[in-house]
Amino acid sequence: MNAWKEFNKGIIKENPVLVALLGLCPVLAVTTTVINGLGMGLATTFVLLGSNIVISVMGKFIPSKVRIPCYIVIIASFVTIVDLLIQAFSPALNKSLGIFIPLIVVNCIILGRAEAFASRNKLWHSILDALGMGIGFTLALFLLSAIREILGSGAIFNIAITGNISPILIFVLPPGAFAALGFIIAIVIYFTKKSAEKNKGAK
């Protein structure tokens, strides 16, 4: 499998959030502002990268019977590392992400990638896959948080842009998160279905 295809499948074709619909908890909770979204995305990418590397290296030794708990422990350790690093170097991000950093452990994307990919492929490919998936996840977070911030609090990167028109506050609150994500996924499905038809038509 050539490296490039491995990398960009995570971003568009098999985007973990918008296509595979994994890890919706942090996606909904954290994307009130773009900075939070990007912070969470990068943290998850770091954990994904680390766990993919370790698991692809140690893939052979772990008995298949108990591989899920082992993966969880490895991922948990990476998550704690990230948690401590964020607390140390950017307390503001830590306050806003709050409980969702420890919850990266149970984020289905990481466990999914580890289970489906990392344990079976070579180191180089699983690194690429981790990066692809991580960037896809961050992209999805960025998209959702941009929409929610612009509509919800009339600002981008905390700088007010909509002037005197009062922003639609519901997008900053939970109901807005659900609805916004619902619409984005619907649009993604709409386009993937349309392009699929075009390809079928073309073939």
Partner 1 sequence: MENTKLIVSYPPYTKSKDSIEKVMYTVVFALLPAVVAAVYFFGLRALALIFVCSISAIGFEYLINVFRKQEIACFDGSALVTGILLALNLPSNLPYWMAVLGSFVAIVVVKQLFGGLGFNVFNPALAARVFLLISFPVAMTIWPIPFSVDMQTAASPLGILKTEGLKAANSITLWQAFIGNVGGSLGETSALALLLGSVILFWKKYITWIIPVSFVGATLAFTGIFHYMEPLKYASPAFHFTCGGLLLGALFMATDMVTTPVSKRGQLIFGLGCGLLTGIIRLFGGYPEGVSFAILIMNAFVPLLDKWDNYSNGKKWRLTKMRSVIVLTCIGFFSAFLLYMTDNITKEPIKKAIERVKVEALRQIFPFEFSDKDINIAFDKNGKEFFEIKNKDNSLRGIAVETSSDKGYGGEITILVAVSPDGKVFNYNVLSHKETPGLGNKIENEAFKKQFNGKTLDGFNWKVKKDDGFVDELTAATISSRAATDAVKKGLEVISNKYFVENKK
Partner 2 sequence: MKEVLLVMVSAIFINNVIFARFLGICPYMGVSKRISTASGMGMAVTFVMTFATAITFILNKFVLIPFHIEYLQTIMFILVIASLVQIVEIALKKISPALYQALGIFLPLITTNCAILGVAILSIQNEYSFFISVLFAFCSGLGFCLAIIIFSGIRERIEDADIPECFKNIPIALITAGILAMAFMGFSGLVK
The label of the residue with tokens 């609805």 reads 179
169 lies in the binding site for partner 2 (CB under 8 A)? no
143 lies in the binding site for partner 2 (CB under 8 A)? no
> Could you give the CA distance from residue 132 to residue 40 in angstroms, rounded to a whole number?
16
Residue from 81, 123, 160, 161 binding partner 1 (CB under 8 A): 81
158 lies in the binding site for partner 1 (CB under 8 A)? no
Q: How far is the CB of 74 from partner 2 (least distance, A)?
A: 10
CA distances from 106 to 35, 48, 58, 100 (A): 22, 12, 21, 10
Residue 45, phi then psi, degrees to nearest 5: -60, -45
Structure tokens at 123: 């180191």
49 CB-near residues (< 8 Å, 6+ apart): 127, 130, 131, 134
Residues of span 81-100 touching partner 2 by CB under 8 A: 83-84, 99
182 lies in the binding site for partner 2 (CB under 8 A)? yes
25 lies in the binding site for partner 2 (CB under 8 A)? yes
CB-nearer residue toward partner 2: 25 or 92: 25
Residue from 53, 58, 62, 72 binding partner 2 (CB under 8 A): 72
